[in-house]
Chains A and B, each alone.
Chain A
Amino acid sequence: MPFIPHTAAETAAMLKALGAQSLEDLFDEIPGHLRSGPLTEVPEALSEHEITRLMRARAAADGEFLTFLGAGAYEHHIPAAVWEIAGRGEFYTAYTPYQAEASQGTLQLLYEFQTMIAGLTGLDVANASLYDGASALAEAVLMAVRLHGRSRRVLIPETVHPLYRKVVETVVSPQSIVLDLVPMGPDGTVQAADLASRLEGAAALVIPQPNFLGCLEDGHALAASARAAGALAIGLVNPVACALIVPPGEWGAGCDIAVGEGQPLGAPLSSGGPYFGFMACRREHVRQMPGRIVGRTVDAAGREAYTLTLQAREQHIRRSRATSNICTNQGLLVTAATIHMALLGPEGLRRVAVAAHANTATLRARLEAIPGVRALFPHTPFFHEVAVRLPIPVPEALRALEAQGILGGLALAEFYPALADGLLVCATETKTEADMERYAEHLRRIVTRRRLDPPCAYKDDNTRSP
């Protein structure tokens, strides 16, 4: 029987001990007519060999692409040791560390993680993670409204990831919180000068850095405007960028809360998850921070020990008055991220950020060399993504690139109708000169309609797994 160790003799002996005739007797408190009978819609069991073959075939069919897609999920080198260690059964199959004495490994790791995230964001304290970047932003909005106390209106710029905005809307709207959309300026960023009137009476301002379009916002000016208006400043940051770009704790007088998507720190792309959201804040806000938090303390013998703390904020104690209903963190992803950050260190993370920026600059230059291709925001500093305008319909270009084994980026039309001919491209440190050359050459051919051989439909060098 799959994953059930009982022999027939053991089952019989256990039933006998209970005075039961059959397994069926154990369900005698359930009204008989509610019993469901066989699950005919569920297929019969496969062997491990059979399911493995099926999964291999399906994974192989999905192929592997040279990807210049970013838009919230980024391909980075993940050291082999990261998942070798994170995948150890002692991390992989442990529960939430409620029993501190039997969970010191996970707890100490989370304390180290909190320290790393606080360091990266330049803020005082961090929690042990939330579900993903978008839900972390939603929690930050709720937290800011609780902290502010007098307003339920939060400013969220158009330059925030459009899917994040949707998630925030889903999560906060039942609590009558109003999301006030701040339009972007012609340079692809939020104009601090335009904010003053909107900020009046607002609870918080979300500041993305870099923003969804890859542009660097003026974090200092935006955070200062928010604080001057008595609103909280919420930094939404890429954790790799934090190694190169000034962190939210140092924008102006400092953000109140920083959140972001942790995926670039050791999580594979995995079609969107599991990832993790991170959250850091100023120390005076810690009691309004949602999620698990680990503290360092001592044991009965006075030795250093770690435990979940500030649990009085949480749902299992406070129930309907909790800071959030959340009762997990993304522990396994955080385990990977902690090992990832330890392996890269400050220098490694900085070099990854610098190389990603440099590659994106190179890619932009190569693409701009194609007739009719232009950067949408040519004078705005960027991190590792840029938006370009194509002279042909973007979906058509992307389809032709896909046929060559290249994912060429994200068509902006769906999210930004005004940028209908826009394409968002990203080149992380994983891309080589040859990769970018290949992309640019194919795009040049597609754009100029030069039907050189091989034709688009022919997958000349599409690397696919066996």
Chain B
Amino acid sequence: MLIVAERINASRKAIRAALERMDPAPIEEEARAQDAAGATYIDVNGGTFPGREAELLCWLVDIVQAVTSRPLCLDSSDPDAIAAALPRVKTSSPMINSINLEADRYARILPLALEHRTKLIALCQGEGALASTAAQKIDLAAGLIERLTGAGIPLDDIYVDPLVFPLGTDHQSAQATIAAIGGIMARFPGVHTICGLTNVSHGLPLRRLVNRTFLVGAMSAGMDAAILDPTDRDLMSALYAARAVYGHDEYCMELIEAFRDGTITA
């Protein structure tokens, strides 16, 4: 299971404050904690500071790389920021978060992915309204996968994110995402699927419980990557158990090791 650790994100108050002050300490701490908790990739999101996106994303890249050898996931709505940050990345195969079918975004991100041989999070999002049904999500995924592989991106580098919308406003939203994951994985063997977990529980109580239940459901349909908080022990426990239950953990050795080193708990 590929884990993109989500905590270094300017939408979080502590991170935004650190970015405003350009204070590296909280960023370093988050990077170390997520590394230790089992992150595969560390996402870096510098938010929107008009005119300073590139500077701040580069700053994050330098700080995080100084304290962890985990590869980075460059997360910005500004393609220029991603272009500026990519040459500073020292580890091999970074990830870009994200590309989608919007013409501008697609045209800007694709050459960066090809040039730097990155992995790509591909959002099921086009020019129009958001895709809410499984069929719409699968259509967008097919369009993305066909275009990206046609352009020379290896299937194995594509992480399709079907997106999940809040259950609080559409009680079928999570099921649509889970069905889309199943459809995408069946139709394009070798591609990956990924999803952030927090949106599903927007506006609900007991959000962490809903998030991890959704994670397990998505994993049952074949999702093999997730954008999540690896320092959430309950979430990671559910993830390890689901890996074992769905047959991805030979002799359950990962589960046992995580139990032994105290990473997970009942």
Q: Do A and B come from one complex?
A: no
Residues of chain A whose beta carbon lies under 8 Å from any beta carbon of chain B: none
Residues of chain B whose beta carbon lies under 8 Å from any beta carbon of chain A: none
